[in-house]
Structure 1
């Protein structure tokens, strides 16, 4: 193999490894944030809903309702509705992240958290380049995964991951409304997708569509839906919080750690499938990998899966 071929192979591998790193970073950071969320009592469905499988249904209803609002806004050209809705949701999540952490150290956590979340959101609006979107997205993704991970025990999370994997496959391959949503949101440069440049000099602000090609052909960037990182991370957190398996790495137990490994294997398979250049549903691969890793971890640790 010539040196130029090796260089091309390495160049093609770097963005894929970067995308995998971002996904794992969301999972690890969610584990770091989870104890703060738990101590602050930030439960999405209240303390009584943590073991209730019905909470899974409520989560799905929220996702479907949110998706419907965004699709209607895209259909009727109401871009400001999409931007306002998403920015409020993102800034609110960021506030919870900051307040949970700062609340453990200072009584001034509320105004500091509010100021920090508004400042970062302003930076996002003013300079929405890919690295700003990724930093914001990782914080939001980890915060959301931590909140829902401590809010739902393993059974509701497992049901949720299975249901959303099926929904994602339908939304991408059949109704294709997830692709419509991605194309509609991309020009707004909002952190609903993690962005990994495939070439030097890439600018998200100049990119027109998810499938856009560079001047010399070839992919400009890889996109990983933020939900694709959040859903496996929810299982990682829930396993660490609710599984009786003993800790093996920090406060993370074997089911939690192997869920991370499983999601990485699922990501590798996803990238092999995505080589065709066609958009792929991420959750069937990522959720399946995380679930297999979790079950294997439970078997090795000698604890019940559910």
Structure 2
């Protein structure tokens, strides 16, 4: 019953702790002044500019989805995102060995990842995780802790509106799923639900396919005989949902020049993700993940400061 939650949570934590580990390489031996001087986004206005960029990019994606019936453009966008984000991951890993070698190797590995993902579609989740680490790493090193929280709060509001009001985030998610783009991680399963849970239309469709399912899918026959209906269950989490908590966790290093607060942020975000998954199982509808993730992050930050008193 909880396998999807376990898989999603595991991938989420791998991204968070991998990003923190990579950040520890970049931040090794730095001073508070060096961190401040390296931050690009130094004011809340920077967060608004990034939000505007995200909104514009979303609008472009939706426009392309409605007027363009192929998938080449989406593959190009995906390839660009994977290349840029994974480049920072590989360069962080290899750049300390030798700057020139690290630069060339990071470019080669990033290109190889794009090619491998397009050739082997099962690499989608792994590729999305690597890209999420790259995005979270770059943003985390660019923002102060307070500005990172402000940015995530603004993005949480945008996420809520995009899912429940304009619903364009659902359109973007469908684009990613239909084209198997590494812009989200997902776990697909078949779960059994009582027939009474189905809508009238779903029940009619099931009755049409029932005989065929019983004949061709013997393992499902017992499920149907118990009055249950086998249904595809797909749980997805966007790369932004993976990258935003990581961004806050990495930016938290500058508060006390260690990763203690970062760990509390990560554990709080994990709590928010678990809350999201349980709500998802209860109401069976698409949910914005960033608001509950932010809620969990704030709990983690609050616990950290309470213990520090």
Gap runs ≥5 in structure 1: 1-11, 201-212
Query: For the residues of structure 2 that align with 1:134 and 1:120, how far apart are their CA atoms?
Result: 12
2:274 aligned with 1:268: yes
TM-score (norm 2): 0.80
- Matched residues in 1 for 2:274 and 2:91: separation? 35
Residue aligned with 2:286, SS? coil
Q: 1: CA distance between counterparts of 2:241 and 2:126?
A: 16
Give 1:109's aligned residue: 102
- Between the aligned partners of 1:48 and 1:119, the Cα distance in structure 2 is 30
Please give the secondary structure, in 2, of the residue aligned with 1:81.
helix
Residue of structure 1 aligned with 2:124, choices 119, 126, 133? 133
Name the counterpart of 2:40. 49
Which 10-residue stretch deviates more, 55-64 or 148-157?
55-64
2:142 aligned partner:
151
Q: Is 2:304 the counterpart of 1:297?
A: yes
Q: Give the structure with the higher percent helix.
A: 2
Larger radius of gyration, structure 1 or 2?
Answer: 2
Question: Residues 75 and 30 from structure 1, CA distance in 2 versus in 1: closer, same or farther, beyond 3 angstroms?
Answer: same
1:84-95 equivalences under 5 Å are: 84-95=76-87
Give the Å deviation of 1:51: 2.9
2:285 match: 278
Alignment-derived partner of residue 257 in structure 1: 263
| Deviation for aligned residue 1:38 | 4.9
Separation in structure 2 between the aligned mates of residue 60 and residue 230 of structure 1, nearest angstrom: 14
Matched-pair contact (CA < 8 Å) for 1:37–1:147: no
Q: Give the total of aligned pairs.
A: 267
Identify if the C-alpha distance between structure 1 residues 124 and 144 changes in structure 2 by more than 3 Å, giving closer, same or farther.
same
- How far 1:281 sits from its partner (Å)? 0.9
Distance 2:131 2:299 in 1: 26
Q: CA deviation at 1:197?
A: 3.0
**Which secondary structure state, in structure 1, belongs to the residue aligned with residue 235 of structure 2?**
strand
Does the Cα contact within 8 Å between 2:184 and 2:236 map onto a contact in 1?
yes
Provide the residue aligned with 1:28 in structure 2: 17
Structure 2: gaps of 5 or more residues: 192-205, 214-228
Offset at 1:301? Answer: 2.2
Name the CA shift for 1:124/1:134 in 2 (closer, same or farther; >3 Å).
same
CA distance in 2, matches of 1:20, 1:180: 24
SS of residue paired to 1:218:
strand
Equivalent residue, structure 1, for 2:58: 67
Alignment of 1:171-190 (within 5 A): 171-190=162-181
**Are 1:164 and 2:148 an aligned pair?**
no
- Measured after TM superposition, the shift of residue 37 of structure 1 is 4.4
Say if 2:268 and 2:299, in contact at 8 Å, map to a contact too: yes
Distance 1:192 1:64 in 2: 16
